[in-house]
Chain A
Amino acid sequence: MIEIQNIHKRFDNNKVLKNISCIFNEGQTNLIIGESGSGKTTLIKILVGLYKHDYGSVLFHGQDVGKMKTKQTRKLRQEIGMLFQGGALYDYMTVEENIMFPLTMFTSKNEQEMIDRVNFCLKRVNLENKNELMPSELSGGMKKRVAIARAIVMQPKYLFCDEPNSGLDPKTAIVIDNLIKEITEEYNITTIINTHDMNSVMQIGEKIAFIHKGELWWEGRKEEIIKSKNDELTNFVFASDLFNRLRTS
């Protein structure tokens, strides 16, 4: 379980996050939703330790990350997998080298063991035999799948995804969503996804946290959104005509 308590963050004079407290359930797909500029990415970067929060606590299984020693933080980071918006694959490495990289840095596996693990992960994301391709030779969806393979290669306990569907066509977006959902269930990972894609919310969301203007406006289960009386939430979720029609029907 990941818990955040009273998180505040500002950049210069701009208050980006204001007093956010939330619990992300273990072994579930937790979604942080909100408009562009609402503070979702800042929150996810605080959760993974890329940004330091000004006030508040981030707890992983009850342990405050801010009070951890360097060794503990490094160990925790090896339990985290992250899928970035653009994939963040290393340009100068092949697909195989990209996925193998965490293994070479943090394990004592031999070459063959590492290759076996890479092939297993590639198979899991349906990209068999693409080992020798360079990231520049991959499509957007393939890059995301390689990034997922790299994120799961160390068998993480936590998976963070920053806008996993951005820039993808609807069909590929569904493939990526389903893949994340399957992996979450298969390996009992605590997954936190940052998105403004309502298809993802409806398809894979379990716990939903809605952020608006840097504040947590609503949290609950996907099924509760429809009944919600929170205007900001319903305006955001049902902004599209299609979803609005679905709601009224």
Chain B
Amino acid sequence: MLKLLKHIGLYFIMMKKVISVPEKPKAFKKQFVLELEKIGLQSIGIVLFISFFVGGVVSIQTALNLQNPLLPTYLIGLASRDSLILEFSPTMISLILAGKVGSSIASEIGSMRVSEQIDALEIMGVNSASFLILPKIIASMFFFPCLVILSMAIGMIGAWVGGLSVDVTTSDFLYGLQYEFVPFYVTYAIIKTLFFAFLVSSISSYFGYHSKGGAISVGKSSTEAVVYSSIFILVFNFILTKIILA
């Protein structure tokens, strides 16, 4: 319990240092662009790949469960759409990004800590937490929603392809996609994603920033970053769903 309280305390102390006006806007901009590339652009491939195939699987499984002459086939499009928008794209993609981006952030900052690069920043008088972590948090909060929207689109293409393989016609599928569409679901997904992006980037940065020792510690930080980011994503998914949708 004491250990948990210590972690929470250290996390908020770090966040207090992180949330400050950047000392040199030019340097911040440069770091931000670098992070956009590392966190965002380099994640597009995996997001597209996973979304396409999961979308396909969702529509095939839905089709198998709706094999009833009384149920119209357009429901497959509708069910795939809602599964993708409400849960798969925001939550599952964030969990995947917690693995990819979270471990990368924790190991990068952790390596900088154990190789004294963070100490070097501090000695120069640079607020190391703000300089290293703030661009990562902002880049994540900027790019995660973009990736999630992309995931929704590609997931639906995957679902359409999956639907075709189980004899769902394109017109039925498209009708289902548009049937009783609630635009607020997309807003809800983006709100969730913004929270998840903040959690993944800040929790991973916390574990990296507090690495101690050598390579083993960096590996441990990286693992902890993924585990705790995932746990917090799932907990906040429940809380946010209850608050926003219920």
Could you tell me which A residues sit within 8 Å of B by CB distance? 45, 48-50, 73-75, 77-78, 80, 82, 84-86, 88-92, 101-102, 104-106
Inter-chain contact count A-B, CB under 8 Å?
Answer: 53
> B120 to A84, Cβ gap below 8 A?
yes
Q: Which of A77, A86, A90, A104 contacts B125 (CB 8 A)?
A: A77
> B115 to A88, Cβ gap below 8 A?
yes
Q: Which of B112, B115, B117, B123 contacts A48 (CB 8 A)?
A: B123
Chain B contacts for A75, CB-based, 8 A = 125
State whether the Cβ of B126 lies closer than 8 Å to any Cβ in chain A. Answer: yes
Chain B contacts for A82, CB-based, 8 A = 119-120, 123
Chain B contacts for A84, CB-based, 8 A = 116, 119-120
Cβ < 8 Å to A, chain B residues 109-129: 111-112, 115-117, 119-120, 122-126
State whether the Cβ of B87 lies closer than 8 Å to any Cβ in chain A. Answer: no
Beyond A49-B123, A78-B125, whether A104 also contacts B116 by CB under 8 A is no
Chain A contacts for B23, CB-based, 8 A = 105
State whether the Cβ of B3 lies closer than 8 Å to any Cβ in chain A. Answer: no
Q: Once the chains are docked, how many angstroms separate the CA of A89 from the CA of B122?
A: 13
Chain A contacts for B126, CB-based, 8 A = 105
Chain A contacts for B124, CB-based, 8 A = 77-78, 101-102, 105-106
> A104 to B24, Cβ gap below 8 A?
yes
State whether the Cβ of B242 lies closer than 8 Å to any Cβ in chain A. Answer: no
Size of the B side of the interface (Cβ < 8 Å), in residues, is 17
State the main secondary structure of chain B at its contact with A. Answer: helix
> B119 to A105, Cβ gap below 8 A?
no
Chain B contacts for A73, CB-based, 8 A = 125
> B115 to A50, Cβ gap below 8 A?
no
Give 3 closest A-B pairs by Cβ, nearest first.
A77-B125, A88-B116, A88-B120
Chain B contacts for A78, CB-based, 8 A = 124-125
Chain B contacts for A105, CB-based, 8 A = 23-24, 27, 124-126
Q: Tell me the nearest residue of chain A to B127, going by C-beta.
A: A74
> B125 to A91, Cβ gap below 8 A?
no
Q: Once the chains are docked, how many angstroms separate the CA of A45 from the CA of B120?
A: 11
Which residue, B34, B112, B115, B123, has most C-beta atoms of chain A within 10 A?
B123
Q: Once the chains are docked, how many angstroms separate the CA of A228 from the CA of B115?
A: 37
B202 CB to closest chain A CB (Å) equals 21
State whether the Cβ of B26 lies closer than 8 Å to any Cβ in chain A. Answer: yes
Chain B contacts for A92, CB-based, 8 A = 34
Q: Once the chains are docked, how many angstroms separate the CA of A74 from the CA of B125?
A: 5
Beyond A78-B124, A102-B124, A106-B124, whether A50 also contacts B119 by CB under 8 A is yes
Chain B contacts for A106, CB-based, 8 A = 124-125
